[in-house]
A and B are shown apart, each in its own frame.
Chain A
Amino acid sequence: MPAMTSTTDRTDPTAGPGVSAGEPIIRFGDATKVFRSGGEVRAVDGVTLDILAGEIFGVIGYSGAGKSTLVRLINALEIATSGTVEVDGTVLTGLGESRLRPVRSRIGMIFQQFNLMSSRTVASNVAYPLRVAGWPREKRAARVAELLEFVGISDKARAYPARLSGGQKQRVGIARALAANPRILLADESTSALDPETTQEVLALLRRVNRELGITVVIITHEMDVVRTTCDRVAVMEHGKVVEVGDVYRVFAEPGHDVTRRFVATALRDRPSSDVVARLRARHAGRIVTVGVDEAAGSSARLTRTLRAHGVDGTVVYGGITEVAERPYGSLTFELVGDEAAVEAAVDEFRSYTDLVDLGTAAAPREVPSVVRPRDDQAPDGDAHPGGTGEGSVGRPDRRGPDSGPLGGTGTNR
């Protein structure tokens, strides 16, 4: 795909000055959008945020948080009531409708419902933005062929959208969004209407768009898994405000807001809940501990070395390691069997370099509510496990704080 990588081949004479990679390409300055229809809704409320050129930026939040409105400010489908929005060096605030159109044509957008024109073929849909941008016919045809090849649906060029699957439709949507060589691609719930496998394919395509074409991608989602696998940085929104923003890995490791913690919990299912712990105890008589696995602290190889050094048998009975922002992250729950002193020594060594939750043994159970119960809605302390003291079982909170690391992320201890 040599020509696809030629993002510098920008025929649009109105193209902005062009921000280089790593610098802010989208800047919100106290941006506010108020809808007045009946009541007053502050859909976006005083957002100050920079999105950097070349990154994949996620915006996550519950329904009605204002995510769609925030991204619609970027391509001026909505105009901020107050504050500023700057895109690729152009301040949108105060520009008239006709001056906004060229800005829009430099920003691609894909949608949850694909929004393809049913009266046009796939090729004609992809060619539409090129017509809008005034490309001559011959150049259009070549560009469309190239785009369809890039997204992998060249064989569907002459088909009508109604004949395509959801995944194929979204590929057409992506090809159309990329047609006029945008520097920014906005994806509003672009995978929410797709099955898990197709979702992965579309996300992989978005990563390719970002990597191979250097396009800044803004992904709106309410699925933390999408953020986990795809985004570099993420903003968490609630009631029109950005309540947390940062590196995805950092946000997973140290979520600083309740909403964030709840989202993180949905993406990491490696911690045993109290039900699971009860079943683990029924099955395994030995000492049960949950330890964090991440890049900084303990790799699983290091955990294994510790066990070997102390002559303790460790069986993984629960948990898993996943990737967050393409780095290993997760937790493993071990049943430790061996000499009591050796087990104690191994546990201490684990604690020296990673987070650890000591669940005790079936005979002498222990529990840490904040870690073992990621959800608010579970049984209150002591109900499920009478006799659980919790004393002394938090793994080194002094080192990284109770909310940090693979085990701390989902606590509700605030």
Chain B
Amino acid sequence: MSWDQMAPLLADAFGQTMYMVLSAMVVGGVFGLIMGIGLYVSRAGNLMASRTTFAIINVAVNIVRPIPFIIFITAIAPLTDLVVGRRIGIGAVTFAMCVMTSFVFARIVEQNLVTIDPGVIEAARAMGASPWRIIRTVLIPEALTPLILGYTFLFIGVLDMSAMAGYLGGGGLGDFAIVYGYQQYDWRVTYGVVLIIIVIAQLVQLLGNTLARRMQRR
């Protein structure tokens, strides 16, 4: 295949990857943050301690997180069908990615919140701040630097998940590398795509590090 034929296909694949990855980062970011904060505050002795809430989120995270994504996609197919209306295609893959990303990020968020000095939260409580206010004005700002780094770390995992999309006809760069590179014995294509992925990952890491450094004015 010539470069002229391949270029538009590569552009499509790039677009599909970006669509999947950014959707998962946004949706998974929001839900992961909520679940992670939920995990943290509901833990015994914390701001909104609740045995049941903690147990539910904790068990869910522990069950979902270790499942390899390729298996996870098929495992939640019935749910995907219910929500997206299809079991294959980019929509189905994106849905599965959003769910998995939420659970992965939840744990990252929780682990970063644990590093906050409990004394600072206690001080805010002593000043009469409500739990909701403490979450917004103490927890998140105090853990912002590690949260940004954790979110950046998450991006690489999500990029990795998107490579599996080919199995469900989701397209994307991973699929492109396999179909037009690996299966055609065209190593230039394979390595070309790998290079693109590396560049994306590098750029995002750079962005994350820069942002984190900006936040860390202490």
Contact = CB atoms under 8 A, between A and B. Distances in A.
B108 to A, nearest CB: 19
A102 interface: yes
Interface in B111-163: 117, 119-120, 122-130, 133, 137-138, 141-142, 144
B218 A119 contact: yes
B117 A105 contact: no
B217 interface: yes
Contact of B130 (A101, A120, A163): A101
Given A132-B133, A160-B218, A104 B128 contact: yes
A104 B138 contact: no
A120 B141 contact: yes
Contacts of B122: 77, 111, 115
A133 B125 CA distance: 13
Interface string A175-203: 01000100000000000000000000000
A161 B218 CA distance: 7
Q: How large is the interface on A (under 10, 10 to 19, 20 to 34, 35 or more residues)?
A: 20 to 34
A117 interface: yes
A333 interface: no
A118 B142 contact: yes
A256 B79 CA distance: 73
A113 interface: yes
A118 B133 contact: no
B122 to A, nearest CB: 7
Nearest to B144: A119
Given A119-B141, A160-B218, A109 B123 contact: yes
Contacts of B120: 115-118
A116 B138 CA distance: 10
Interface of B: 117, 119-120, 122-130, 133, 137-138, 141-142, 144, 215, 217-218
12 contacts: A75-B126, A109-B123, A111-B119, A115-B119, A115-B120, A118-B142, A119-B144, A128-B124, A132-B124, A132-B133, A176-B123, A180-B127
